[in-house]
């Protein structure tokens, strides 16, 4: 009996993964980014959250390789005097946490609603109508609206205090329809299959059928959209932060950093915006590329972009 | 078909009502119409009198009814910040956004169709691979980042294009301030339109390409080849026509993303359109304006989606499905 | 008898990432003017690929990798794209299996017919329309003028296939290749369509290559039959000989498996085993694993077609002594 690890090593999954240079490179880059951001407390040369270590006199210093830069601040400093490199690492960590958290919420909501919807006819029409309307508004729009409403409700100061979990909530609420629809489609397709009939004939309860039989089969499409959804969630968070509805300047995500740095490109301090920008694009890009690879692997015939 | 139309319109109206209800509830809960009318310097007593007079102490449903009635007459309340009726503010800002959306849409259509078709017919050529590669980078770049990058390269470094505002505008038809008819206005339109199209363009290219590739594999296209029809005709008349329908239906829905992105783009370029107006209203806690934007935008979405659904229903779905492998 | 089409040692390969599949191997057959040839085989035997290769329309990544296809004195397998396009639909027409999938759902019948005429013949629109109406009449479609304006989904399956046949007649081709033309139709319609094809071939003096898995159909319509197995021709002969006196063990198995041959028994006679997949072809004769007779030679070499006394060609070491 081969162990799980052995079976994985010999699997076709690993085989075709290793043969695709794009997938491998993306994975390596993503691994570096994730380890870097979560290892920020260990790696980052400075602590951007500790006000005592930050000197406003240090602000707007260019990267180390240019004339006025110092090796103390590798990528320069931002307008408040924080080290770019460290702040970016912490910021990326926040972006990733919010992205993954939001997707976990969406998936949780979406799968439950999708299962219920696929199985109980009466709920189906209502739930799917809501999903359709929400989807047609586009999730960015919904996220922005909900963010705006929450900020009006809580006031700016309170909003900033609970920004991170609130963002997870907002993006999670905005994007559940995608999951619900996917799961529902799977459920409807599986219901027609014979093994479900067989299970019903044996007398298994509806819930048991849903859980043990149908759910595992819906996981494949859920996995396919999950990677793209993480990329989307990170983008949504960046957009919300850019509009001032996201992470505050004291605990910035990559999006808030970009916002803060924007006005400074006119005065020449381009690095405050460009570096976090490049990092953000890189992060989203590798997630998208991996997502594309997973989708092609699981559905070789499906070209749909 | 008739029943379908009626059902669809009824649903649309229902959604509109729900949106307006949500909007009104928010306005009611957080907005302060008294402040919007008379500002801050009034005594508590006078406030109460004004509240009574405005009917603000009436039951919720009655106020909602009044809100609806006023809305249907074009009165959405008063903006606290601008000290003007909301409708007036929105209308004054609308042309800016509409022109921007128009230009971006133009770019998307003019580029995505040829690029999408080309990369579907010749998927292995270097050019197609480059197009797809650039597309995926485009999709990974948030719109505001593209905007910032454009500004940095073309304004700050190269000084070719202006970085904010609409430039010179000309008043057409008595109220529409257009930037399309002046050279300066056009220069100001270039970067924002490119930025706005930057997410839609890759999406459409990929969509057209994948639909086209699927159609090219269908039996009826193979049959057209077998009949010896010239390649151009096979690609245009047989393949593209069948690609168009799903593209239109999906494209219509992308409008939502487009409008959301105008908010972001306008903020970066300080473009005085409806998008930046919305963000400013949030910052200023100008609830009337903020809610009205949500309601108006919601209305536009519902209308567009209903029209798209109706068009979809018109072209017989069974016709559409047959012929695909 | 003039030779219409001659296929010599044709090889068609599919170049996949991991290996190359040999879908058609060393196939040689010919068809005379006005003759009707049936190509019979199971699914996956390569008959459709063979049919498509005649007009060089094999789905990628398939390619003709060897042999010749002589038509009208030229090897059309080597034709340039434009030259081949002129042959397709003009001198050689093809009928596909499912008319619901073959006719473009968003174009009218008229458009789809006219474009075929205009693609190959230099005639005015009026003349083209006249030709279309004429052919619609030939396939017995009533009120043809009205039909030109209608869409495929407005017709029944049988009518659609008649229209497809009409389209194939438009340019008065020398050869029609029909790939499973009745498989997608109701049984009652099948007979009608086959009768129609038969009639048209006789009156218009066209050659017909009928590709099918249905032995019963092929025995009634064709004059000669070629049996395909795992991409190779294992037997060719006159229809009568093949049906009544099959020589190759596979053909014998096929004939015995017909319901009529079950002779009142409750079970049908099956050939044990399955046709090998292209991924796992046995060495030597491809039929060896299922054959009751197995000489030593059979597992080492691949038998080629040899002619027997009665004119049938067979690829089997057992029969090579002649009979």
For A193-243, how does the pLDDT look when each residue is reduced to its tens digit (9 = 90+)?
A: 777 777 777 777 766 766 777 777 777 788 878 888 898 899 888 888 888
Categorize the per-residue pLDDT at B268 as very low, low, confident or very high, splitting at 50, 70 and 90. Answer: confident
Q: Which chains touch A (3 or more CB pairs under 8 A)?
A: B
**Chain C residue with minimum CA distance to B238:** C104
Chain B touched by A289 (CB under 8 Å): yes
Chain-chain contact of B228 with C87 (C-beta, under 8 angstroms): yes
| Chain B residues touching residue C116 (CB < 8 angstroms) | 227-229
The reported pLDDT for the residue numbered A69 is 66
**Chain B residue with minimum CA distance to C56:** B226
The reported pLDDT for the residue numbered A22 is 83
Categorize the per-residue pLDDT at B317 as very low, low, confident or very high, splitting at 50, 70 and 90. Answer: very low
Coil/strand/helix, residue B314: helix
- Residue C181 corresponds to which tokens in the numbers above? 């033309």
The reported pLDDT for the residue numbered B71 is 73
- Spatial strand order of the sheet with C313-314 comes to C92-95, C175-179, C207-212, C36-40, C224-229, C232-238, C313-314, C306-307
| Chain A residues touching residue B294 (CB < 8 angstroms) | 145
How far away is chain A from the Cα of B271, in angstroms, using its nearest Cα?
14
Is residue B226 over pLDDT 80? yes
The reported pLDDT for the residue numbered B170 is 74
What is the DSSP track for C55-124? TT-PPTTEEEEEEEEEETTEEGGG--HHHHHHHBTTTEEEE-S-HHHHS-TTS-HHHHHHHHHHHH----
Q: Which of C93, C104, C115 to mutate to test the interface with B (most CBs of B within 10 A)?
A: C104
Is A26 part of any domain?
no
How far away is chain B from the Cα of A141, in angstroms, using its nearest Cα?
5
Number of neighbouring beta carbons within 10 Å of residue C61: 12
Residue C91 · residue C173 · CB < 8 Å: yes
- Between B208 and B175, whose confidence is greater? B208
Instruction: Enumerate residues 6+ apart whose C-beta is below 8 A from C79.
Output: C56, C87
Which residue among A137, A145, A305 sits closest to B207, beta carbon to beta carbon? A305
Taking 50 as the pLDDT cut, the residues of chain C under it are 322-323
| Chain B residues touching residue C107 (CB < 8 angstroms) | 237-238, 241
Chain-chain contact of C104 with B323 (C-beta, under 8 angstroms): yes
Q: How many domains does chain C have?
A: 1
Chain-chain contact of A135 with B253 (C-beta, under 8 angstroms): yes
Give CA separation, C100 vs A140, B78, B173, C90, C179, in Å. Answer: 42, 60, 54, 22, 14
The reported pLDDT for the residue numbered C211 is 92
The predicted model gives A287-303 an average pLDDT of: 73
| Chain C residues touching residue B230 (CB < 8 angstroms) | 85, 119
Residue C165 · residue C197 · CB < 8 Å: yes
Is A55 part of any domain?
no
Chain B touched by C120 (CB under 8 Å): yes
Domain that holds residue C55: 3-91+171-260+267-320
| Chain B residues touching residue C93 (CB < 8 angstroms) | 226-227
Q: Check which CATH number belongs to the domain holding A144 and give it.
A: 1.10.3720.10
Chain B touched by C87 (CB under 8 Å): yes
Coil/strand/helix, residue B142: coil
Q: Which chains touch B (3 or more CB pairs under 8 A)?
A: A, C
Is residue B318 over pLDDT 50? no
The predicted model gives B181-200 an average pLDDT of: 83
Is residue A304 over pLDDT 50? no
Q: How many domains does chain A have?
A: 1
Chain A touched by B126 (CB under 8 Å): no
Is A15 part of any domain?
no
Chain-chain contact of B219 with C102 (C-beta, under 8 angstroms): yes
Is C58 part of any domain?
yes
Is C182 part of any domain?
yes
Among C253, B140, C48, residue whose Cα is nearest residue A284: B140
Cα–Cα distance measured from residue C104 to residue C107, given in angstroms and rounded to the nearest whole number: 6
- Residue B194 corresponds to which tokens in the numbers above? 């490119």
Instruction: Enumerate residues 6+ apart whose C-beta is below 8 A from B174.
Output: none
Chain-chain contact of B282 with A274 (C-beta, under 8 angstroms): no
The reported pLDDT for the residue numbered B321 is 37
| Chain A residues touching residue B287 (CB < 8 angstroms) | 152
**Chain B residue with minimum CA distance to C102:** B220
Is A209 part of any domain?
yes
Cα–Cα distance measured from residue A140 to residue B265, given in angstroms and rounded to the nearest whole number: 13
* Residue given tokens 């498509």 in the structure block: C52
Chain-chain contact of B226 with C57 (C-beta, under 8 angstroms): yes
The reported pLDDT for the residue numbered A303 is 36
Residue C245 CA, chain-centre distance (Å), reads 22
The predicted model gives A253-277 an average pLDDT of: 83
The reported pLDDT for the residue numbered C323 is 39
Give CA separation, A73 vs A51, A92, B13, C61, C103, in Å. Answer: 16, 18, 58, 56, 68
Chain A touched by B161 (CB under 8 Å): no
The reported pLDDT for the residue numbered A82 is 79
| Chain A residues touching residue B137 (CB < 8 angstroms) | 281, 285
Domain that holds residue A266: 71-298
Chain-chain contact of C107 with B316 (C-beta, under 8 angstroms): no
Give CA separation, A149 vs A105, A163, B93, in Å. Answer: 20, 13, 22
Query: What's the whole-number average pLDDT of chain B?
Result: 78
* pTM listed for this prediction: 0.74
Q: Which of B226, B235, B324 to mutate to test the interface with C (most CBs of C within 10 A)?
A: B226
Q: Which helix (H) or strand (E) holds C234?
A: strand C232-238
Percent of chain B with pLDDT over 70: 87
- Residue B269 corresponds to which tokens in the numbers above? 């370029």
B138-142, B178-182, C84-88: range with lowest mean pLDDT = B178-182
Chain-chain contact of B223 with C87 (C-beta, under 8 angstroms): no
Give the E-state strand segments of chain B in sequence order. Answer: 78-79, 84-85, 170-172, 176-178
Is residue B322 over pLDDT 60? no
Tell me the β-bridge partners of C12. Answer: C24, C64
The predicted model gives A99-115 an average pLDDT of: 88
By residue count, chain C amounts to 323
The reported pLDDT for the residue numbered B323 is 32
Residue C314 · residue C240 · CB < 8 Å: no
**Chain A residue with minimum CA distance to B137:** A285
- Residue B61 corresponds to which tokens in the numbers above? 């449903």
Q: Check which CATH number belongs to the domain holding C19 and give it.
A: 3.40.50.300
Give CA separation, C30 vs A261, C39, C184, in Å. Answer: 77, 11, 28
3-state DSSP helix/strand/coil % of chain C, to nearest 5: 40, 25, 40
User: Which of A 175-234 lie inside 8 A of B, CB atoms?
Assistant: 231
Q: Which of B122, B227, B233 to mutate to test the interface with C (most CBs of C within 10 A)?
A: B227
For A176-198, how does the pLDDT look when each residue is reduced to its tens digit (9 = 90+)?
A: 888 888 888 887 777 777 777 77
Is C148 part of any domain?
no
Chain-chain contact of B229 with C119 (C-beta, under 8 angstroms): yes
Choose from A128-142, B221-235, C298-312 the range with maximum mean pLDDT: B221-235
Is residue B251 over pLDDT 70? yes
Cα–Cα distance measured from residue B242 to residue A263, given in angstroms and rounded to the nearest whole number: 47
C75, C77, C81, C85: CA torsion to nearest 10: 80
The reported pLDDT for the residue numbered C210 is 92
For chain A, what is the largest distance between any 2 Cα atoms, rounded to a whole number of angstroms?
79
- Between B38 and B94, whose confidence is greater? B94
| Chain A residues touching residue B198 (CB < 8 angstroms) | none
The size of the B-C interface in CB pairs under 8 A is 82
For A146-167, how does the pLDDT look when each residue is reduced to its tens digit (9 = 90+)?
A: 888 887 777 777 777 777 888 8
């Amino acid at each position: 009996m081969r162990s799980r690890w052995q079976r994985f090593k010999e699997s076709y999954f690993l085989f075709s993964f290793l043969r695709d240079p794009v997938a491998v490179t993306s994975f390596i880059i993503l691994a570096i980014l994730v380890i870097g951001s979560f290892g920020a407390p260990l790696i980052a040369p400075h602590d951007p959250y500790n006000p005592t270590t930050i000197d406003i006199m240090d602000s707007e210093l260019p990267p180390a390789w240019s004339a006025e830069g110092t090796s103390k601040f590798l990528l320069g400093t931002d307008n408040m005097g924080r080290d770019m490199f460290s702040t970016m690492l912490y910021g990326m960590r926040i972006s990733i946490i919010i992205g993954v958290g939001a997707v976990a919420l969406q998936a949780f909501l979406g799968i439950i609603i999708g299962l219920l919807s696929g199985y109980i006819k009466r709920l189906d029409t209502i739930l799917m109508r809501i999903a359709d309307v929400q989807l047609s508004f586009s999730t960015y729009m919904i996220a922005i609206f909900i963010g705006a409403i929450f900020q009006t409700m809580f006031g700016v100061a309170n909003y900033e205090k609970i920004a991170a979990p609130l963002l997870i909530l907002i993006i999670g609420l905005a994007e559940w329809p995608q999951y619900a629809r996917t799961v529902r489609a799977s459920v409807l397709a599986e219901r027609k299959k014979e093994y479900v009939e067989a299970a019903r004939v044996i007398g298994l309860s509806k819930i048991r059928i849903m859980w043990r039989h149908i759910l595992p089969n819906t996981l494949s499409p859920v996995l396919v959209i999950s990677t793209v959804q993480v990329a989307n969630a990170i983008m949504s968070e960046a957009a919300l932060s850019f509009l001032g509805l996201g992470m505050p300047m004291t605990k910035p995500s990559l999006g808030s950093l970009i916002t803060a740095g924007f006005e400074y490109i006119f005065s020449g301090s381009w690095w405050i915006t460009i570096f976090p920008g490049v990092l953000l694009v890189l992060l989203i890009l590798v997630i998208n590329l991996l997502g594309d690879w997973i989708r092609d692997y699981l559905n070789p015939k499906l070209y749909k972009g | 078909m008739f029943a379908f139309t009626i059902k669809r319109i009824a649903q649309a109206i229902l959604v509109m009502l729900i949106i307006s209800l949500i909007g009104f509830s928010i306005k009611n809960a957080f907005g302060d119409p008294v402040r919007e009318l008379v500002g801050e310097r009034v005594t508590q007593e006078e406030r109460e009198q004004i509240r009574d007079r405005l009917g603000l102490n009436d039951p919720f449903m009655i106020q909602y009814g009044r809100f609806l009635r006023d809305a249907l007459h074009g009165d959405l309340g008063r903006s606290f910040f601008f000290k003007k009726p909301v409708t007036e503010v929105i209308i004054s800002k609308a042309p800016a956004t509409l022109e921007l959306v128009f230009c971006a849409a133009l770019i998307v259509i003019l580029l995505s169709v040829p690029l999408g078709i080309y990369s579907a017919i010749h998927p292995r050529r270097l050019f197609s691979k480059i197009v797809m590669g650039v597309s995926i980078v485009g999709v990974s770049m948030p719109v505001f980042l593209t905007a910032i990058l454009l500004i940095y390269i073309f304004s700050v470094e190269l000084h070719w294009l202006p970085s904010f505002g609409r430039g010179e505008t000309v008043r057409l038809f008595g109220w529409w301030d257009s930037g399309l008819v002046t050279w300066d206005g056009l220069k100001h339109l270039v970067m924002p339109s490119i930025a706005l199209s930057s997410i839609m363009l890759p999406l459409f290219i990929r969509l057209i390409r994948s639909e086209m590739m699927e159609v090219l594999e269908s039996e009826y296209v193979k049959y057209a080849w077998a009949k010896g029809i010239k390649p151009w005709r096979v690609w245009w008349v047989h393949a593209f026509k069948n690609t168009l329908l799903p593209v239109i239906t999906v494209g219509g829905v992308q409008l939502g993303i487009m409008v959301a992105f105008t908010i972001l783009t306008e903020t970066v370029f300080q473009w005085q359109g409806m998008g930046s107006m919305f963000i400013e209203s949030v910052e200023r806690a100008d609830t009337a304006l903020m809610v009205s934007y949500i309601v108006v935008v919601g209305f536009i979405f519902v209308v567009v989606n209903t029209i798209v659904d109706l068009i979809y229903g018109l072209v017989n779905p069974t016709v559409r499905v047959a012929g695909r492998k | 008898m003039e030779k219409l089409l001659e296929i010599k040692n044709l090889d068609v390969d599919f170049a996949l990432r991991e290996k190359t599949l040999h879908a058609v191997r060393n196939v040689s057959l010919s068809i005379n003017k006005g003759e009707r040839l049936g190509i019979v085989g199971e699914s996956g035997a390569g008959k459709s690929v063979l049919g498509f290769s005649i007009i060089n329309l094999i789905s990628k990544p398939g390619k003709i990798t060897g042999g010749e296809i002589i038509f009208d004195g030229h090897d059309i397998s080597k034709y340039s794209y434009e030259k081949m396009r002129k042959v397709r639909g003009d001198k050689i027409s093809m009928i596909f299996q499912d008319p619901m999938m073959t006719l473009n759902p968003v174009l009218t019948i008229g458009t789809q017919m006219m474009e075929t005429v205009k693609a190959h013949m230099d005639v005015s629109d009026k003349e083209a329309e006249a030709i279309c109406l004429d052919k619609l009449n030939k396939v017995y479609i009533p009120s043809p003028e009205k039909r030109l304006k209608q869409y495929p989904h407005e017709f029944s399956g049988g009518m659609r296939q008649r229209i497809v046949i009409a389209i194939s007649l438009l340019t008065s081709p020398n050869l029609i290749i029909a790939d499973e033309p009745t498989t997608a139709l109701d049984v009652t319609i099948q007979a009608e369509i086959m009768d129609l094809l038969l009639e048209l071939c006789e009156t218009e003096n066209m050659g017909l290559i009928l590709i099918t898995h249905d032995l019963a159909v092929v025995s009634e319509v064709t004059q000669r039959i070629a049996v395909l197995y795992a991409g190779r021709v294992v037997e060719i002969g006159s229809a009568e000989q093949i049906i009544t006196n099959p020589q190759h063990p596979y053909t014998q198995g096929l004939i015995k498996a017909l319901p009529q041959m079950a002779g009142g028994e409750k079970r049908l006679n099956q050939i044990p085993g399955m046709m090998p997949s292209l991924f796992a072809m046995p060495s030597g004769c491809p039929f060896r694993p299922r054959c009751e007779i197995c000489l030593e030679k059979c597992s080492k070499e691949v038998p080629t077609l040899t002619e027997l006394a009665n004119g049938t060609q067979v690829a089997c070491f057992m029969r090579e002594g002649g009979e």
